[in-house]
Structure 1
Amino acid sequence: MKAVVTVMLKQGVLDPQGAAVQSALGSMGFDGVSGVRQGKVIELELADGTSEAQVNEMCEKLLANTVIESYRVEMSAVGESA
């Protein structure tokens, strides 16, 4: 099993990395970018039988700071794209 966890700052939370990327893109001539949010992707190789509920628990306890971040979990069998 494989899980892909996408963690992003919640709306309304200041994203200084996203602002820096947006500024840099503007400096490079990419003026059409009006907003950038930066996050992280975590890929987990899981033992067969690991449930999505268990992955959610991992997120709640370690992988995401749920006070300021939200997360999305995508589960797939190994070899499939999540």
Structure 2
Amino acid sequence: MAISAELGEVLEKVVNDLVENGRYNSKSEVLREGVRLVQEREARLRDALERGLADIEAGRTKPLEEVAQRLIEKYEAMAKRS
């Protein structure tokens, strides 16, 4: 099944440059690689979300106030040393 996509002028130029410079053999190859990269990123995000939810369920979290206070103290100390 063929897909037609409007990439816009800038992205179309990027795709054309990649093919013209020999990095890819065709525009389709560039777009397939792009879709694969999106799939990988989405998988990493899902994994990170699942780990985060597991941490919440297991009680491996700290209250925001505690973390924020620790960061404030850290950066105040860094500012004093400067």
Which protein is bigger by CA-based radius of gyration?
Answer: 2
TM-score band, normalised by shorter chain: under 0.3
Task: Return the TM-score normalized by structure 2.
Answer: 0.28
Point out the structure with the larger strand share.
1
Of structures 1 and 2, the one scoring higher in RCO (CA 8 A, sep 6+) is: 1
Task: Return the TM-score normalized by structure 1.
Answer: 0.28
Point out the structure with the larger helix share.
2
